[in-house]
Chains A and B, each alone.
Chain A
């Protein structure tokens, strides 16, 4: 039945065109809308993927915003929906709603140096930022990408690291918590915040984008503030349980903020006084 206005709960169909194995528990799905339209998104926004019969989950859109007719979601097998998604084959149909949420403030930070700090799967919402910078390199100053994961095998998008390093005036620093025996690793070992020692930031002209596990963001935010960064220039992308993406189901609330529509990207000034968050 037609309502005369759009039903925000109805997903559109998307076809799986390619599946990349990032590591044994993480896959990147390349999707194409069946109706031929592009999913116009900005870096940092998320979508909600349906595996019909199992349910919906929210994922960061992880591909380049410049790529118009396809988009990607990187999925780690951690729950019911993601486990179901691991059975999907190229050619299968999924449901997609979105894009939702407030993106990284890429327009606002034009002219600034950027530090991108990611932990584990937290690189997913930042990958579109890196692609955007590569395409619009003259809009930003120096770019430092600091990426940490549990082990070298837990890292994602490793096949793109070389091209990221080749972006002018851009450096990529890697670290892991632990190197399993017989694993080749020529980068740092330790928490991701330790990589900040390689960066010589010009405080007033630097913005920081952070995404990773909540505990990692907590320590990163504390350190950045101690280093002298402005709270208004440190941006985090938060994860919360979400059922609707449109500020109705209530689950993603932090204080009076809805992560789905006021976020997921917040600066530390906004987060400052909210409960149930990095304290």
Chain B
């Protein structure tokens, strides 16, 4: 058993400070260790994760709030991924090469927690070998949030703005640089031969203060107390019809959601080789075809049923299926919705907290 003072001591022992100007060198160090490095860069006024070559480490910009694409989902279950190649009566598994090491730097706590949720789905038996292979070769350098915007609501689920587990390294943006905390052996190996001064207890205090400030910027909230009973009780609430009048059924919420895991499977003929490629592509429950069956049957023909599925899956069914709510409060579905539908408002209205 640790006593509290011990824990504090070990935390300090495994915490370092990376000077701001050292970030490119550290990034190069990661690449030199054989990792493909993904990190956020500024692109047309937005931040997006990009594979960073050794010569482009200067482009990395860790000052961002939210990317449009959920980075870990896009890495672990790519939007389109070939599963099998079939030729001449032989089936070849197109699995990721386990030797391909991937490092992702700068993922925020909500996205790391969303990945843990995806893990519950994809490693539930039978395991998905494609997800599993990528997950095993992935190194996560998470980044605590120092700010939040009007769409963030991670505090409702305890999925941000700071992270306690699920990372190999964890960064916090401090005044003079980044606090680097070690969360795994892989992470320890990475900092082992890159010189960084040990953190001081004042650095940890500054970290706490940074997170406290970020928390203070979060305005949106979902009250999750007894939420399952409320959602189930509202399955036939007229709100679903009302929302169907605004929703365009575009499925953007599904695509940008870091916990939406549904996929479609398609066969294509590869023209030059004549092989059949069986691939999976992201799918979403807001799309009309999602629940379509033979002879034009569709079990969620009405948009109202599809919106109800989306909201209930996150805020209700996930709990039965995987033991946790399926939302991390990243705010992407709200930010990207062309009809300005806000899942936090939907829940608040069903709770009678918002009229």
Contact = CB atoms under 8 A, between A and B. Distances in A.
Interface string A229-254: 00000000001110110111111011
Contacts of B122: 248
Interface in B306-328: 308-309, 312-313, 316-317, 319-321
Contact of A55 (B232, B267, B293): B267
B133 A8 contact: no
B306 to A, nearest CB: 9
A276 B285 CA distance: 13
A10 B262 contact: no
Interface residues of B, number: 50
Given A3-B95, A275-B308, A249 B129 contact: no
B91 A10 contact: yes
Given A248-B128, A255-B317, A256-B320, A243 B300 contact: no
A76 B297 CA distance: 15
A277 B235 CA distance: 12
B226 interface: no
Interface string B254-282: 00000001111111010000001010100
Contacts of A7: 93, 95, 129
A262 to B, nearest CB: 10
A8 B128 CA distance: 7
Contacts of A113: none
A248 B263 contact: yes
A247 B321 CA distance: 10
Contacts of B297: 214
Given A3-B93, A256-B316, A79 B294 contact: yes
> From DSSP, what is the main secondary structure of chain A's interface residues?
loop
Interface core residue of A78, A214, A248 (most chain B CB under 10 Å): A248
Contacts of B261: 248, 250
Nearest to A243: B265
A275 B293 contact: no
A98 to B, nearest CB: 12
A184 B215 CA distance: 77
Given A10-B93, A52-B86, A52-B267, A247 B124 contact: yes
Given A93-B89, A247-B124, A241 B293 contact: yes
A20 to B, nearest CB: 20
A251 B267 contact: no
B9 interface: no
A243 B263 contact: yes
B320 A82 contact: no
Contact of B290 (A1, A5, A76, A241): A241
Interface string B67-97: 0000000000000000110100101010101
Contact of A9 (B84, B300, B305): B84
B126 interface: yes
Given A13-B89, A256-B317, A250 B267 contact: no
A63 B160 CA distance: 53
A55 B3 CA distance: 58
A1 B94 CA distance: 8
Contacts of B305: 275-276
A189 B51 CA distance: 67
Contacts of B300: 276
Contact of A251 (B95, B262, B317): B262
Interface of A: 1, 3, 5-11, 13, 52-56, 76, 78-79, 82, 93, 95, 214, 239-241, 243-244, 246-251, 253-256, 258, 273, 275-277
Given A52-B276, A79-B294, 4 more contacts: A243-B280, A248-B128, A249-B263, A277-B299
9 contacts: A1-B93, A5-B127, A8-B127, A10-B91, A52-B267, A95-B91, A214-B297, A240-B293, A276-B309
Closest 10 interchain pairs by CB? A250-B262, A256-B320, A78-B294, A256-B317, A8-B126, A53-B276, A243-B265, A52-B276, A3-B129, A55-B267
